[in-house]
Every structure is written in structure tokens, then in C-alpha cells.
Structure 1
Amino acid sequence: MKLLTGRITVDSKTVGGKPFFRGTRIPVYVVLEMLANRERSEDIFRAYPNLTEDDLRDALIYARNLAEVPAAPPAAA
């Protein structure tokens, strides 16, 4: 298991190797999608009571960190 942020980890044997919140099986992309759809944090916590404000903040930090990585150039045809 590899820790990506304080609360986000990845393990090839858990949720298909996708990043998830430590201590849960909740994939980060699910919460990011909810935030992108402008769902309120209260609604996210109702759907996933094990999550905290720090989890939501780490999800945004994780997404920002991914956006900072240079995109690979397209493969030559």
C-alpha cells in the first residue's frame, strides 16, 4: 500500500488499484465527481459518513497534484 497524501492511499488489491481514502474503500474519484457536480459537503458526509473535512481537502489536493504533472505527448502514429 502506498500513501499518496495524508489520507489517500493506493493498493493494487483494493478498489481495483484506484486511489481511495485510508480506512475506507471509498475511491477518491467518487468524491471528486460529487464535488464537481456541486454537491454540498453535508450531502457527501451523509452518503459516506466515514469521511471527514480533511478527506475532502485531501481529495482536492490530490487532484491539484495530478494537474501539475506534465501530460505525456501523444504517441507518434
Structure 2
Amino acid sequence: METLLSRITTDPAQCGGRPCIRGMRVRVRDVLDLLEAGLSFDEVLEELPYLERDDIRAAIAYAARRLDHPVIHAAE
């Protein structure tokens, strides 16, 4: 998993510090938006031919990790 996540980079001088794929100006969000729009992995790779299949998997893994946090509700 860490190998996949190492494909995600952040640089304050690039894309406003948003997480990108391997230092390119392709944001994790861009990849997720294409998937959400219904594109398959193969279609994403056609749209962004400089990406690799593992880049897509890394974007999904990154998003899943960022969303995996406990939600604590106040007692009523």
C-alpha cells in the first residue's frame, strides 16, 4: 500500500498544494472525477495517457485513507 501511496505527491508550488500524481499536474481529484463520471480505468488511461494503472489505484487508495477517520458525536 505504501508503494502505491508514494505515487501521490504534494508541492505547495504546484496545483495549490493539492495532492497530485507523481509530481505531474494531474490532481488526485482529476482522476477521481473521471472515475465518478463513469470512465473505466482503460478510458482514464486513454484520456490521460501519461498515467499508469497504478496511478489510478493510488488515487483511490489516497482518497480512501483520507476519508477513514472516526466521527464522534456528542452525547444527547
What is the TM-score normalised by the length of structure 1? 0.78
What is the TM-score normalised by the length of structure 2? 0.79
RMSD: 1.7
Q: Which has the higher contact order (CA 8 A, sep 6+)?
A: 2
Structure 2 distance, partners of 1:34, 1:67, is 19
Partner of 1:68: 68
- Runs (4+) of structure 1 exceeding 2 A deviation are 69-73
Structure 1, unpaired ranges of 5+: none
SS of the equivalent of 1:50 reads coil
Report the CA distance between 1:16 and its aligned residue: 1.2
Q: Which deviates more, 38-47 or 52-61?
A: 38-47
Give 1:50's aligned amino acid. Answer: Y
Mapped contact 2:8–2:22 kept (Cα < 8 A): yes
Which structure has the highest helix share of the two? 2
